Amino acid sequence: MAGDQLDNMLNGHLYHQTNELLEIRFKARDLLYEYNHCHPRNLEKRSQIIENLFGATGKHFFVEIPFHCDYGFNIEIGENFFCNNNCTLLDCNRITIGDNVLFAPNVGIYTAGHCIDPELRLNKQEYTAPVHIGDNVWIGANASVLPGVSIGTNVVIGAGSVVTHDIPDNCVAVGNPCRVLRYVNEHDKKYYFRDRKV
């Protein structure tokens, strides 16, 4: 039964929480408790815990304290990942993050959802969908990325955005719902902040 529910969860089918799934989450919580109570200067121990918690990591990464996730093993990060304070990755499905990705404080990446239909929701059925984030992405403070979203390469997601749909490569996207504001161009090599004018 537990295997069936785990398979359903990982494959995006409706599933129920079980004691066995809860136990998997508790094992992740054990590592998270240890991580979030590390001395900030103990970088070696912090890196080791993240390597044990995540499904895959690059050689160079930094995850600020506190950090939160559900399972851990569904998270894969590339090289030079930087994650600021109070990030939440609800990894009931896969979260794949490319190289040179920056998360500002309070970023949330969510693969889990509850049913819109009230009967299904009251029956405690849930669903998941994976999230993919490409290379060279910066996600601003308090942004949320919802289940099933793919964010392209060389993207900036504005602070406070709610990303409900896929975002293409090479753009600045902002808002709720998040939408493309403009595309990255040569102007940005000289004028690096939003209020700068040519």
The 3 state secondary structure assigned to 31-93 is: HHHHHHCCCCCCHHHHHHHHHHHCCECCCCEEECCCEEECCCCCEEECCCEEECCCEEEECCC
Active site residue 114: yes
Catalytic residue among 114, 132, 165, 187: 114
Q: Hey, which residues are catalytic here?
A: 114
